[in-house]
Structure 1
Amino acid sequence: MTLRARILGAAAGGGLPQWNCGCDNCKLARSGKIPSQTQSSLAVSADGLSWAVLNASPDIRVQLSDAPSLFPSGLRELPLSSVLVTNGDIDHVAGLLTLREMQAFKLFATAGIHEVLAQNPIFEALNSTVVDRVSIALDQPFELVPGLTATLFPVPGKVPLYLEGETVQTDMIGEQTVGVALQSLDSVAYYIPGCAALTPHLRDRLEGAELLFFDGTLWTDDEMVRAGLSQKTGKRMGHMSMDGPDGSIAAFADIDIARKVFVHMNNTNPVLRPDSDEGARARDAGWTIGQDGMEITL
């Protein structure tokens, strides 16, 4: 079987344009001069008939409405078999509340992420007699959808913003932030929408991959600070930036990966402008800038 992936949402939390942002990118998107992007999510399938959604963004209703392969096939039937969340961030779990209308699917996550969801009673709207919550151990393969095996593995990151205390560790290794290895009969792909650093272990894991969707939150670490939009750097938010000596473009330069795609891009990131110099530099380095609706088949 093949591996088919559709980017449902290429932007980070807030999307493009973000509802309360007047940055250059958001103004261009509102005027239709650059494409708008919804919040971080990916759909995958092995047969094109049974699909899994990786991260349920707040925009999932619109995303599913724009994905013909995921249209309802009956009165209350949808080719959605499962949903997997890679962390407890609002932009990755809020969409679960949209999926509460008695639609049966399996909800996959680590035990740590399931615990975060269980602490908030609003997620009980996902009726437990219909939605099967399945805890997945790290580095243990499981069937995500027919013909497609997934394996969760830890990547450096942090707890969700709403769980932060006075001291925040941004490079935690554990169940709170994970990547996903996707294995079909003949292909291997990886989905890592949030990552604070490329560790030697992660580098070795990704070597030889056919396809990688990777965290592209910011172009430069201080991008939002310089724009006057935040006091937080990318590192403080638990994300690698694209540019710079310790950025992802440099870090992946000598790793054998057939196709590399940036996803989870913040609304300020200049690569979201198709004609930007930064976007050209990323493409020249072998990266694809993810876009809503982009499909890749291996």
Structure 2
Amino acid sequence: MRFLVLGAAAGGGLPQWNCGCPNCIDARRGKIASASQSSLAVTLNGRDWAVLNASPDIRAQMHRCPQMHPRALRDTPLASVLVTNGDIDHIAGLLSLREQSPFTLFGTSEILGVLAENRVFDAVSAAKVTRRALEIGQPFDLLEGLSAQVFPVPGKVPLFMEGETVETDLVGEQTVGVRLSDGDGVAYYIPGCADVTPELLAILEDADQLFFDGTLWDDAEMIRSGTGVKTGRRMGHISISGAGGSIAKLEGLSANKTFIHINNTNPVWQPDSPERAFVQAAGWTVAADGMEIST
């Protein structure tokens, strides 16, 4: 399996259009690299690609990556798209894929239901784009020769569907991770996760490669930075640091581990920060746009 990070950042990207935090300032000045919103592509043969989550930046991401360019007058290497939740930063890019090119769109019934309830997504022609509902735990071919399964991870409904009471540790079809296998290696993609439970740890035991939610360094990051009023857990994301964070809870995994879906406020964006050094010392990589990883 060959992976291409189309976008490494969380919703809003880096820099975020309305943010003047230190990271966004440094990204605008070119001091640190910019990053687009979270999306990951995978291929087995270098010709046919599947995209995991269609971010609002997908047009620019595909333009930037020659691997995703058309090879004929009307053509695309894109064979399929899989969405792991109904968040805007994972589904809005579908509207940029509406120009009558066929591909298969995968998602759980609940996630596809979010699309069905909003008629703007009818622009992604059903005559060209087949929507295929996935059952939890049931294998399917994401690409020829690439077997995939989705499984529930703790999370919540999309922000635009929240009511007065919000459960952030729901386990069901609304937030899923993806297991990928070509028969030789096993990779997991989990860009949104509220907690690492014993059940999730058991699932990940056979991982050779893990792409995992790196949204926030700590739970109070957005409050402390003045960029928001919600904790990480309220947003449905586990923190990287701390005794209950992802580094500590996933320490026992022997997989190659990469953080993806990283918020613009996260100090790990700074290459010389102590937080980046801590992440690297723990055996993790911080994803970057255009990064390629093979398993």
In structure 1, C-alpha distance between the alignment counterparts of 2:287 and 2:62, rounded to whole Å: 17
Question: How many residue pairs end up in the alignment?
Answer: 295
Q: Which AA in structure 2 matches 1:270?
A: P
Give the secondary structure class of the aligned counterpart of 2:235: coil
Deviation at 1:67, TM superposition (A): 1.3
Detail structure 1 runs of 4+ shifted over 4 Å in the superposition. none
Q: Counterpart of 2:102?
A: 104
RMSD: 0.6
Q: Counterpart of 1:172?
A: 170
User: Are the counterparts in 2 of residues 189 and 212 from structure 1 also a CA contact under 8 Å?
Assistant: yes
Q: TM-score, normalised by structure 1?
A: 0.98
Q: Counterpart of 1:262?
A: 259
Q: Counterpart of 2:31?
A: 33
Q: State how 1:103-182 maps to structure 2 within 5 Å.
A: 103-182=101-180
Q: Which AA in structure 2 matches 1:33?
A: K
Q: 1:191 aligns with which of 189, 192, 200?
A: 189
Deviation at 1:255, TM superposition (A): 2.5
**Per-residue deviation, residues 92-132 of structure 1 (Å, max 9, x unmatched):** 00000000011110000000001011000000000110010
**Per-residue deviation, residues 268-290 of structure 1 (Å, max 9, x unmatched):** 00001111110010000010000
User: Are the counterparts in 2 of residues 47 and 147 from structure 1 also a CA contact under 8 Å?
Assistant: no
Q: 1:221 aligns with which of 215, 219, 222?
A: 219
In structure 2, C-alpha distance between the alignment counterparts of 1:222 and 1:185, rounded to whole Å: 41
In structure 1, C-alpha distance between the alignment counterparts of 2:188 and 2:46, rounded to whole Å: 19
Segments of 5+ residues of structure 1 without an aligned counterpart are none
Identity %: 60
Q: Counterpart of 1:58?
A: 56
Give the secondary structure class of the aligned counterpart of 1:151: strand
Q: Counterpart of 2:234?
A: 236
**Per-residue deviation, residues 245-295 of structure 1 (Å, max 9, x unmatched):** 1000111112232x0000000000000111111001000001000000000
Q: TM-score, normalised by structure 2?
A: 0.99
**Per-residue deviation, residues 158-216 of structure 1 (Å, max 9, x unmatched):** 00000000000000000000000001021100000000001111101111310000000
In structure 2, C-alpha distance between the alignment counterparts of 1:278 and 1:12, rounded to whole Å: 18
Q: Which AA in structure 2 matches 1:271?
A: V
Q: Counterpart of 2:203?
A: 205
Segments of 5+ residues of structure 2 without an aligned counterpart are none
In structure 1, C-alpha distance between the alignment counterparts of 2:272 and 2:48, rounded to whole Å: 36
Give the secondary structure class of the aligned counterpart of 1:26: helix
